[in-house]
């Protein structure tokens, strides 16, 4: 049995998510505490900026942790009121929980459809549970299956290939049209905010190595440059840095252009007509639009990028039905295997017990009829064998049918009690 409680950007305000979120160290402590409280249950905690999800699983009814117990555990860990927390959480079980996890791992439940980072976060959550010894047979199976399903979506659809954030589009769909390689280019970053850093991250992923940061705040320029093994230059040297640059990422909060056409004309002779890509991601714009008409300059504003983002998001959404069909197929296969694992031991034990009784009764009968020849004995043995199989056929066939559709946990427990089967 698999249970899930959680909250996400879909249904819970950010102030609630923040109070339920886990740092990596908190997640480790929570899993260790859970293991002490519920030693026979499995657990995985997935905590990102947009979601907190708590998965538990158990192979026996005695070890199952209810949704209420899971919510109470989360609340107590964070020092919150359990009654207030429970109403903020969504709850899934069985197939519904499995499909949800597969959807999350594939990036189809993310704020940005098709976000690729979530797959790594799911993997990290599972690996932490393994290190804390709270993963077990069921969580091993379901998280490995989730990562496999996510890879299928990535390989068989284009949902992850179309960039939808401004920084990723700036690099992947604009910069790469101008430059085949980045490792030999001079990259100038103007501004030191989140947009600058995220765009810089994509550029370095593509190979950018020679980085210069210019910002009005010298301290912030130095901090950003240090994080990316670059160099900082004073704001007063902006035009000199621009003269040496091949690619510019500009994201300041200035209220008017920081580089006007007449200023660019001053450094234009120093550039010797080398191509210059300017990604002006600021609002208002940092660069005079007329600079885009200069020889060798490729100037793109945030409006240019946002239009591509919009088109790419539409293409991702068109791929959504195909991706969901893959996840439905993977979920069905996983549940069939999970149910087969649950029913297999019961079917095996039932057959073994009944055939053992058959053999005992045959031995008793043959002891009373010692005059029977071998052929008669074989006929009787065959008749007993057929009788047992016919008696077993209806309950076992029903059990197999349920296994294909999702066997109710109560049915398994009823069979164990009815036929006095061991756990």
Among candidate residues 7, 29, 49, 222, the one labeled active-site is 49
Query: What percent of the chain is predicted at pLDDT more than 70?
Result: 94
| Lowest-pLDDT choice from 40-54, 151-165, 258-272, 394-408 | 394-408
CB 109 within 8 A of CB 8: yes
Q: Where are the alpha helices (DSSP H) in 157-296?
A: 166-169, 176-178, 194-205, 218-227, 238-244, 261-271
3-class secondary structure, 249: strand
Instruction: Collect all residues with Cβ–Cβ distance below 8 Å to 223 and sequence separation of at least 6.
Output: 192
pLDDT for 121 beyond 90: yes
Q: What is the pLDDT of residue 322?
A: 95
Average pLDDT, the chain: 90
Q: What is the pLDDT of residues 2-44, one digit of tens each?
A: 999 999 988 888 888 889 999 999 999 999 999 999 999 999 9
Q: What is the pLDDT of residues 174-205, one digit of tens each?
A: 999 999 999 999 999 999 998 899 999 999 99
Q: What is the pLDDT of residue 409?
A: 56
Which residue in the block uniquely carries the two structure tokens 């940092």? 286
Q: What is the pLDDT of residue 78?
A: 95
Which domains does the chain show, CATH number per domain?
Answer: 2-162 (3.30.460.30), 166-303 (3.40.50.720), 344-418 (no CATH)
Q: What is the pLDDT of residues 199-222, one digit of tens each?
A: 999 999 999 999 999 999 999 999
How far is residue 161's CA from residue 9's CA, in Å, rounded to a whole number? Answer: 23
Q: What is the pLDDT of residue 407?
A: 54
For 80, half-sphere exposure in the C-beta direction (CA atoms, 13 angstrom radius) is 20
pLDDT for 408 beyond 60: no
Query: What percent of the chain is predicted at pLDDT more than 90?
Result: 66
pLDDT for 392 beyond 90: no
- What is the mean predicted confidence (pLDDT) over 401-413? 61
CB 330 within 8 A of CB 153: no
Q: What is the pLDDT of residue 402?
A: 64
- Per-residue pLDDT band for 108 (boundaries 50, 70, 90) equals very high
- Per-residue pLDDT band for 247 (boundaries 50, 70, 90) equals very high
- What is the mean predicted confidence (pLDDT) over 157-172? 84
- What is the mean predicted confidence (pLDDT) over 359-368? 91
| Lowest-pLDDT choice from 62-76, 123-137, 300-314 | 300-314
The two tokens of residue 92 are: 């899934």
Question: Is 49 annotated in the active site?
Answer: yes
How far is residue 254's CA from residue 285's CA, in Å, rounded to a whole number? Answer: 8
pTM for the structure as a whole: 0.66
């Amino acid at each position: 049995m698999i249970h899930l409680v959680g909250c996400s950007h879909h249904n819970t305000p950010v102030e609630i998510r923040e109070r339920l979120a886990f740092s990596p160290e908190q997640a480790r402590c929570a899993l260790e505490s859970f293991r002490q409280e519920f030693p026979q249950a499995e657990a995985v905690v997935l905590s990102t900026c947009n979601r907190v999800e708590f998965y538990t699983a158990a192979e026996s009814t005695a070890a199952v942790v209810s949704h209420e117990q899971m919510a109470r555990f989360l609340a107590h860990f964070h020092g919150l009121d359990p009654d207030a927390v429970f109403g903020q959480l969504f709850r899934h079980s069985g197939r519904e929980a499995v499909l949800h996890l597969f959807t999350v791992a594939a990036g189809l439940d993310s704020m940005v459809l098709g976000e690729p980072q979530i797959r790594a976060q799911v993997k990290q959550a599972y690996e932490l549970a393994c290190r804390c010894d709270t993963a077990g047979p069921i969580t091993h199976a379901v998280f490995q299956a989730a990562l496999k399903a996510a890879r299928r979506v990535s390989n068989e659809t284009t949902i992850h290939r179309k960039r939808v954030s401004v920084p990723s589009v700036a690099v992947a769909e604009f910069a790469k049209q101008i430059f085949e390689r980045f490792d030999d280019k001079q990259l100038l970053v103007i501004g030191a905010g989140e947009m600058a850093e995220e765009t810089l991250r994509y550029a370095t992923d593509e190979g950018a190595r020679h980085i210069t940061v210019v910002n009005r705040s010298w301290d912030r320029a130095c901090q950003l440059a240090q994080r990316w093994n670059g160099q900082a230059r004073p704001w007063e040297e902006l035009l000199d840095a621009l003269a040496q640059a091949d690619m510019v990422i500009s994201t300041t909060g200035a209220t008017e252009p920081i580089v006007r056409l007449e200023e660019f004309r001053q450094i234009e002779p120093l550039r010797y007509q080398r191509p210059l890509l300017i990604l002006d991601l600021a609002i208002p714009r940092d660069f005079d639009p007329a600079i885009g008409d200069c020889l060798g300059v490729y100037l793109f504003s945030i409006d240019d990028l946002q239009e591509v983002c919009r088109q790419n998001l539409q293409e991702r959404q068109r791929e959504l039905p195909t991706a969901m069909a893959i996840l439905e197929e993977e979920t069905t296969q996983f549940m069939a295997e999970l149910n087969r694992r649950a029913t297999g031991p019961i079917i095996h034990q039932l057959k073994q017990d009944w055939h053992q009784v058959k053999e005992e009764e045959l031995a008793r009968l043959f002891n009373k009829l010692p005059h029977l020849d071998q052929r008669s004995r074989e006929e009787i043995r065959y008749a007993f064998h057929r009788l047992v199989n016919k008696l077993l056929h209806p309950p076992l066939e029903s059990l197999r049918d349920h296994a294909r559709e999702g066997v109710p946990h109560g049915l398994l427990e009823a069979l164990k009690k009815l036929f006095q089967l061991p756990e």
